[in-house]
Amino acid sequence: METRKLGTTDLTVSRLGFGLFEISTLESDTDAAVLLHAALDSGINFLDTAACYGDSEEKIGKAVSERRNEFVLASKCGHEVGDAKFGTWTTSTITASIEQSLRRLKTDHLDLLQLHSCSLEILEQGDAIQAMEAAQRSGKTRYIGYSGDNEAAMWAVESGRFCTLQTSFNVVEQRARTSGLLAAARARGMGVIAKRPIANGSFGTDISPLPYADTYFKRGRMVLHEGDLPDAPLDRIELCLAFTLGQPEIDVAIAGTRSVDHMRSNSALVRNGLSLSDNLRSELQRRFELLDDDWLQQL
């Protein structure tokens, strides 16, 4: 699979990453292990989880800790979880959460630690960032990043204190482009990670696949109501991945799934090469800008 340097870090990541919230919904550790090994074997080397994703970190640690040198490991912190009982976004919570993540993941360091979608107010306060910087100085993480959207994401970029930005971007979620967020991140040499790259699987479906996909589903219906898309591939997932990964600032797009077949299909699409015609890309951008009625990024 094609790889890319994650901004100005020395981390080399596969263009397709694996978002690991959904493995926390698998009842069997064996099923999670099969999925994780299949992802690594398919060429995916960027694994993205979070302290608050149920038992996702524990499943990763049990399944693939012996393959630790084969993947870039990213997690997130900030929420009050597990053994961290000090309140959300405090120095104590973040410090305890990092230690908990390392234990669960069976590793002595993270490659990337991300602040998990906190508010602008929390960012400006500074304590959360200082706690992450302390973890970086102590070697518990190699790099630190911010995961979030809208004005808080722009503040994080402009602060100059983060190495990476994880933010929402897809066919019906282009505010990161139109607001200048992606361009600002790239100008500072930040690695850019796109979350929700296939619009929660809702684009081009007849019904919304999941409750949390309803907003994207409605937006997608409006986009498609404008008429046929020129040169569009028949596979709607291929279209979505090609659009997201074709955005020049984006280094890696993270897609999550419970299904080995879906994961392998997504991986094969990226390995085989993705492209959209200039006409199609321009039309998708035009329709978003036409229909964007305060379509803020989804948190």
Confidence of residue 298 (pLDDT cuts 50, 70, 90): confident
Cα separation of 220 and 198, whole Å? 11
Cα separation of 83 and 92, whole Å? 11
Is residue 299, in this structure, part of any structural domain at all? no
Tell me the per-residue pLDDT of 118-168, one tens digit each, with 9 for 90 and over.
Answer: 999 999 999 999 999 999 999 999 999 999 999 999 999 999 999 999 999
pLDDT at 296: 85
Cα separation of 55 and 32, whole Å? 11
Cα separation of 160 and 277, whole Å? 35
- Residue carrying the six token digits 């094609």: 2
Is residue 39, in this structure, part of any structural domain at all? yes
Tell me the per-residue pLDDT of 227-281, one tens digit each, with 9 for 90 and over.
Answer: 999 999 999 999 999 999 999 999 999 999 999 999 999 999 999 999 999 999 9
The domain of 129 spans: 3-291
DSSP state of 294: S
> Residue 134, CB half-sphere, CA atoms under 13 Å: how many?
13
- pTM, two decimal places: 0.96
pLDDT at 86: 62
Is residue 298, in this structure, part of any structural domain at all? no
Backbone angles phi, psi at 146, to 5 degrees: -120, 135
Cα separation of 147 and 53, whole Å? 14
Is residue 243, in this structure, part of any structural domain at all? yes
Tell me the per-residue pLDDT of 189-223, one tens digit each, with 9 for 90 and over.
Answer: 999 999 999 999 999 999 998 888 999 999 999 99
Is residue 274, in this structure, part of any structural domain at all? yes
Long-range contacts formed by 149-152: CB under 8 A, 24+ apart: 149/117, 149/175, 149/176, 149/296, 149/297, 149/298, 149/299, 150/175, 150/179, 150/296, 150/297, 150/299, 151/120, 152/117, 152/118, 152/119, 152/120, 152/123
Within the chain, strands assigned E span 3-5, 12-14, 16-19, 46-48, 72-77, 110-116, 141-147, 164-168, 191-195, 252-255
Mean pLDDT of the chain: 95
Tell me the per-residue pLDDT of 53-105, one tens digit each, with 9 for 90 and over.
Answer: 999 999 999 999 999 999 999 999 998 777 666 678 889 999 999 999 999 99
Cβ(143)–Cβ(164) below 8 Å: yes
Cβ(114)–Cβ(108) below 8 Å: no
Cβ partners under 8 Å of residue 272, min gap 6 = none
Cα separation of 170 and 168, whole Å? 7
Residue 147 β-bridge partners: 116, 166
- Residue carrying the six token digits 């084969």: 70
Two structure tokens written together for 198: 């296939």
Is residue 184, in this structure, part of any structural domain at all? yes
Cβ partners under 8 Å of residue 185, min gap 6 = 157, 165, 192, 249
Is residue 141, in this structure, part of any structural domain at all? yes
Q: Is 126 helix (H, G, I), strand (E, B) or coil?
A: coil
Is residue 296, in this structure, part of any structural domain at all? no
Give the CATH number of the domain where residue 8 resides: 3.20.20.100
Cβ(112)–Cβ(164) below 8 Å: yes
The domain total for the chain is 1
Cβ(280)–Cβ(230) below 8 Å: yes
Residue 251 β-bridge partners: none
